[in-house]
Chain A
Amino acid sequence: MPPFPGTITVSGVKIELARKGRGRPLLFLHPGDDLAPTAPVIERLARGFEVILPVHPGFGASDLPRNFGTIDDLAYFYLDFMDRLDLRDVVLVGVSFGAWAAAEIAIKSTARLGHIVLADAVGAKFGPPDVREIKDIFTLTAVQLLDWLYRNPGRHAPRYTEMEEDDLLRVARNREAMQLMGWSPTLYDPKLRQRLHRIDVPTRLLWGAHDRIVPPDYGRQFAAEIPQAEFELIADAGHYSHIEQPDAFAAAIEDFAAGAARVRRAV
């Protein structure tokens, strides 16, 4: 993977950052695997937006301070991040773990957000305690996980044995950071569901039609908790629809973000 072009220090945490394209700010929060600025989905989105692509603290080569270790830390970090860059009317896009972070940001404050896109999100618990709704990725080896993430792993999944050790170190750090923030409760915040009603900007949930980490029905329940959220399936994609169907994924965002921002709730 080419190195990230820049870094930024926010609230004392130095992270990798890429900014690409011109236009309305689109903050892209990556899933458990960090995303290269050269990924087709980023290239495509950069045609119409200024894509702001950070690497979360603890992931890739971004710092992980000792006092940083929860999804809440991540949400507050990105609130500070948007303040620091003075971003306004942001299109906030999150995938999987990144969508969980996006939801945690939005329940705290939507002041800087114009539209939200949550793709194949994890983070909420809807069912009974003895039913696991989100695949327990922590009981899979790194290689086993690939089969769960993609509809077509043979075509899209990375081949670790062929990668450079520097890139594999990023993979190992990504996995460790996911373990830190997602191990238990497994990829959810018990309080998130009851707070999703606070999201008062237009929100679209995009879902890989063949997602096996969180099946589409989970996504429909997620959407039902957010006032007037939309739900849309992406055909022929698994959990990582942004990798498997980058054009359909980007088109769904472009189309959605072109719509009017809804009237905000009165304060």
Chain B
Amino acid sequence: MTDQSRGQPVFVICGKGGVGKTVFTALFLKTLLEEDLKPLLLIDADPAGGLVYALDERATKTLTEVRDELVNAARSAGETEKESLARSLDYMLMEALVERTGYSLLAMGRDKKVGCYCPANTLLRDAINSVSDAFAAVVIDAEAGLEQINRRVTRNATHTIVITDGSLRILATLESITGMVNKGQIFVVQNMTDGQTAAGVPEGTVFAGSIPADNELREFDRAGRSLRELPAENATVLAMKDIAARIIGWETIDA
């Protein structure tokens, strides 16, 4: 979804539904900010929009709404209005951007309309590319399943992070993902597991570590508190520090 022309890292977090992508993304954001990798652009590409809640944020406008406004405006636009419409897209995108210290968030939102809007999606992707230039890195919490990877929404990922719960079904999904991603490095993270094990992780991927099950995190989640507020000594936060170090430093270690 973002441009790689200036070597900006693009982290895409994917996996099957319910494995903990959103929790991982929130913890990953916390660690990246603490490591001073900022400003960060977060894209909540999951229509369920869980990341917004995991960070206790509210998106006043979603990318889907921006696209729909664009489609409506394009219906009646004459030739001379197209330049104005192109500018309007940047305005609407800025409206959709939730800006915080160190990071900004764009939420994809749920698609309620039927129909193909490929040119609108392309325009939107271009606009997001231009927004992303202002950031040190981009983190995308992808939709559950493989659709966005298959449609190359995440085609410019430099780091694809697949979250698993270690089940056989998910390992099969992982193999599908490795077949679809042709750029960057693929990392595997086990979520809510008791021990670290790289067993079953496909060849060509890097096992980045495990996030333990944690009651404090569950309590935060239930209470709707931002996971960014988890204390530094929390087990999941500590685990994430190691995982992030492996992911961010991979190229250096590999070299």
Q: Do A and B come from one complex?
A: no
A interface with B by C-beta (< 8 Å): none
